[in-house]
Amino acid sequence: MNKTITALATPPGIGGIAVIRLSGPEAILIADKCFFGRNALGDAATHTIHYGSIIFRGKIIDNVTASVFKNPHSYTGEDVVEISCHGGMVVAGEIIDTLIECGAVPADPGEFTRRAFLNGRMDLTQVEAVADIIHSLSVPGCLTAARQLTGEFTARMKILGEKLVKIASLLELELDFSEEDLEFTDRNEISNQIADTISFCTELADSYKAAEILRSGFFVAIAGYPNSGKSTLFNTLLNRQRAIVSEIPGTTRDYLEEIIYINGIAIKLTDTAGLRESDNIVEIEGIKLVESVLKLSNLILIINDITISPEQSNKLYKKIALNYPDSKIYLLQNKIDKVDENNIGRLSSGIEHELKISAKKQIGINNLRNMLENEALQNIERTRDILINQRHAILLKQAVSELQSALYAISSNMQNELIAIDIRKAGKTLGEITGDTWNDDVLNNIFSRFCIGK
Ligand SMILES: Nc1nc2c(ncn2[C@@H]2O[C@H](COP(=O)(O)OP(=O)(O)OP(=O)(O)O)[C@@H](O)[C@H]2O)c(=O)[nH]1
Ligand SMILES: [Mg+2]
């Protein structure tokens, strides 16, 4: 039998109230050992709230409310009692200790949600949506995860899986009746349906990058030669003096990361060390780190000091464009406050994506913010209402390769049973996304992202 688990469900610390969760076959029995209200919780109807005191060994710990949810209509599918007590560092801890003395055990991270999955209250994509909501950094990310919680993604995967099973069954049926006069399913029709499924799955798998932007933010790196004004721009976009700025080239050594929000979209900004040939060991290390930052960036801003020359960074721009073909790159002509206004229009690098700014005097910064927002939005648009994660993307790609091998089998006139095997494999792979089939490793991996009490 499952043990009855307990944990704090709200963040620890000072707050109005704290909520303690208790779930398992003995949840109500254990709560009744220390909760004293007008009636015992054992007599309470499901989905009701009761006022009372937590009293243990003659000592009153707090006045609380207890909510009762009886199985199977609870978050975990088990009997659940949620105790709301006064917030703070002490009371909730005392109540949890009491519940443990009365027979509960401390919950592991994500154990409530894990039980919800094992009891069929949620499928795996919904479990993952819960984690995404908790960790969400941006409004659109949170809303997309919330939509996933309704089970829409699972429903779509189920329809796809059923379609594949139907095709496989048709092929196998032909095999059984091949001696008789059965009308053969049109191979072209089957190939078309498989090809449709392949393009749907590929598109979904490709939206993984966009989903990651919603999860963790749009990654923007600020790079360029020393002294071009990278740290000044970083501070300007952050609205505070976060990075050290100086007229000495090579000021920034480590990279600095901060998140800014533009209309609810999280943008992770990274200021990096100036790129140049150097024999200073610390600086060389800093320059190596820049490469690791650029690799992860969705967008790279190359800052050029226009007072030196508008074309000074062109070589750097081209090199970065070549090395990081997946990232969009903008050239920012900085320090335009130092240029004669009549000349600004004529000065250009000739590079298509170019903006003129003064990081120090805050000229052109609104333009830059709008550009960042538009670029982030363009990338996010590809999420198609579903937050694909790495696990989904790997399975989708696996299904695609299984379906491609089915297509190959059809085009080479292989036997039906061989074609059907590949199609069934793909169906099973899609089933793993929703958790029709799963193993402990998969679950442990998913729940490692959860906190205790969820
Ligand atoms: N006039 C003017 N000066 C600027 C502007 N942006 C930066 N500066 C100056 O340029 C110098 C270098 O600025 P930083 O922001 O430290 O440059 P950086 O690119 O971070 O330099 P490193 O970290 O050394 O690579 C400082 O003296 C800044 O005040 C600008 O828009 N206009
Ligand atoms: Mg700097």
Together in a domain, 219 and 138: no
Distance 302 CA to ligand 1 centre (A): 13
Express each pLDDT in 21-34 by its tens digit.
999 999 999 999 99
CATH code of the domain covering residue 436? 1.20.120.430
Number of domains in the chain: 3
The tens digit of pLDDT for each residue in 141-159 reads: 888 888 888 887 888 888 8
Cα–Cα distances (Å) from 439 to 2, 131, 360, 436, in that order, read 19, 19, 55, 10
- Token output for 68: 């009762």
- Please give the residue range of the domain that contains residue 338: 213-383
DSSP 276: -
Band (441; pLDDT cuts 50, 70, 90): confident
Whether the Cβ atoms of residue 179 and residue 348 lie closer than 8 Å to each other: no
Please state, in angstroms and rounded to a whole number, the distance separating the CA atoms of residues 330 and 380: 19
Same domain, 292 and 392: no
Residue 345: its pLDDT value, please? Answer: 85
Confidence at residue 180, expressed as pLDDT on a 0 to 100 scale: 58
- CA distance linking residue 252 with residue 272, whole number of Å: 7
Angle of the 124-135 helix axis to the 440-447 helix axis, nearest 10? 20
Tell me what pLDDT residue 14 has: 87
Listed in sequence order, the residues at least 6 apart from 421 whose beta carbon sits closer than 8 Å to its beta carbon are: none
pLDDT interval class at 307 (50, 70, 90): very high
More confident call, 49 vs 133: 49
Q: Is 58 helix (H, G, I), strand (E, B) or coil?
A: coil
Name the residue with the closest Cα to ligand 1, atom 2. Answer: 335
Report the alpha-carbon angle 227-230-236, nearest 5: 125
- For residues 445 and 183, the model is more confident at 445
pTM more than 0.85: no
Type of residue numbered 375: E
Q: How confident is the model at residue 212 (pLDDT cuts 50, 70, 90)?
A: confident
| Pair 244, 373 in one domain | yes
The predicted structure's pLDDT at residue 384: 61
> Looking at per-residue confidence, does 398 or 414 come out higher?
398
Band of pLDDT at residue 177, cut at 50, 70 and 90: low
Q: CATH number of the domain that 38 lies in? A: 3.30.1360.120
Atom of ligand 1 at shortest range from CA of 252: 23
- The DSSP secondary-structure symbol of 68 reads E
What CA–CA distance (Å, rounded) separates 4 from 74? 14
How remote is the CA of residue 219 from the centroid of ligand 1, in Å?
Answer: 22
Last residue of a domain, one of 334, 358, 383: 383
The answer to whether the CB of 289 falls within 8 A of the CB of 255 is yes
Q: How far is CA 5 from CA 9, 23, 79, 111, 207, in A?
A: 12, 5, 11, 8, 37
How close is the Cα of 264 to the center of ligand 1, in Å?
29
Looking at residue 356, what is its pLDDT?
96
> Using a 6 Å CB cutoff, which residues line ligand 1?
226-232, 245-247, 249-252, 274, 334-335, 337-338, 358-361
CA distance 153 to 89: 40
CATH assignment at residue 252: 3.40.50.300
Q: What is the pLDDT of residue 403?
A: 96
Distance in angstroms (rounded) separating the CA atoms of residues 89 and 92: 7
Query: Is there a single domain that holds both residue 378 and residue 396?
Result: no
Q: What pLDDT is stored for residue 148 in this prediction?
A: 81
pLDDT at 415: 86
Verify that 418 and 283 share a domain, yes or no.
no
12 SS3 class: coil
Instruction: State the pLDDT confidence band at 454, using cuts at 50, 70 and 90.
Output: confident
Residue-level pLDDT at 179 = 59
Tell me, yes or no, whether 392 and 364 share the same domain.
no
pLDDT at 176 over 80: no
Cis before 72? omega within 30: yes
> 52 versus 212: which is more confidently predicted?
52
